[in-house]
Amino acid sequence: MRHDAWKDALFVSWPIDPAMIAKHLPDGLIPDLHEGQAWVSVVALTEQGIYPFPVGLPLSLARWLGLSHHAVNVRTYVRPTEGGALPGIFFFSLDCSALLPVLGARALFGLSYRYAAMRRGLNGDSLLSERRGGAAMLRAKWHVAEEVSTPQDASLASFLVERYALYNPPSLLMRLVHRLLYGGRKQARYWRGLITHEPWPLYRAELDAWHCTCLEATGLAGSTTGAPRVHCTPGVGPIEFFFDGLF
């Protein structure tokens, strides 16, 4: 799968008790820690030019068929229990402003996508997201404060945003295919996707407005500690996503 760009992204991140994160993770994954601390983030961005099509499709046709949408996710940072495996992201929720990606991602990959009505400001520095039924809402506005440059800030920022693997429990379809291939000899605990793109151009940001119930909707309300770290970026692209197998 190819994305032309991830644009106008906001990362709002809090430290959280690793034990709280661990009890929400599937078997085989553990919290990835930065200086002994687990983290959870609310991320808002716009995904442009998504092509879930065969590699051989002419680029002009792929662009015409490509999808774009706004997205808000709640995620944490994990690593497999087996040593040496690539650290990555685990999503608690993924809200999306287009219905087709929601249906496809849930059916094929078992990702926790949900449809939400969203709109962004003209300059890309504000977003309103409302999930149907009021289960989760995000109203945010921010501005760039300064480029991330100090070693301490850069270390945490890199930990939070430079992630090139995704982990998730297998969907029902994946489990059925896996059972056909392996029978009862091997149980899949999670699947991994690999992501490739250039490093994010990253800035420290300040929030001008913030109202968010996304953590409450995922059962993490009251578990975070300390003030949030806020980063933003004009975006990165192109992005390639590869399914890397069941484990």
Note the pLDDT of residue 61: 45
DSSP per-residue codes, 96-121: ES-HHHHHHHHHHH---EEEEEEEE-
Q: What is the pLDDT of residue 185?
A: 65
pLDDT at 221: 80
Report the C-alpha gap between 225 and 231 in whole angstroms.
Answer: 18
The backbone region for 118, taken as left when phi is positive above 0, alpha when psi lies in -120 to 50, beta otherwise, is: beta
pLDDT in tens, 74-121: 999 999 998 778 999 999 999 999 998 898 889 889 999 999 999 999
Q: What is the 3-state secondary structure (H, E, C) of 228-241?
A: CEEEEEEEECCEEE
pTM of the model: 0.91
Q: What is the pLDDT of residue 27?
A: 93
How far is residue 78's CA from residue 220's CA, in Å, rounded to a whole number?
16
What pLDDT does 182 receive? Answer: 74
pLDDT of res. 206: 97
Q: Can you list the residues of the chain whose pLDDT is less than 50? A: 54-55, 57, 61-65
Looking at residue 53, its pLDDT comes to 55
Q: What is the pLDDT of residue 62?
A: 43
Q: What domains lie within the chain, and their CATH numbers?
A: 2-241 (2.40.400.10)
What does residue 163 show for φ and ψ, rounded to 5 degrees? -120, 130
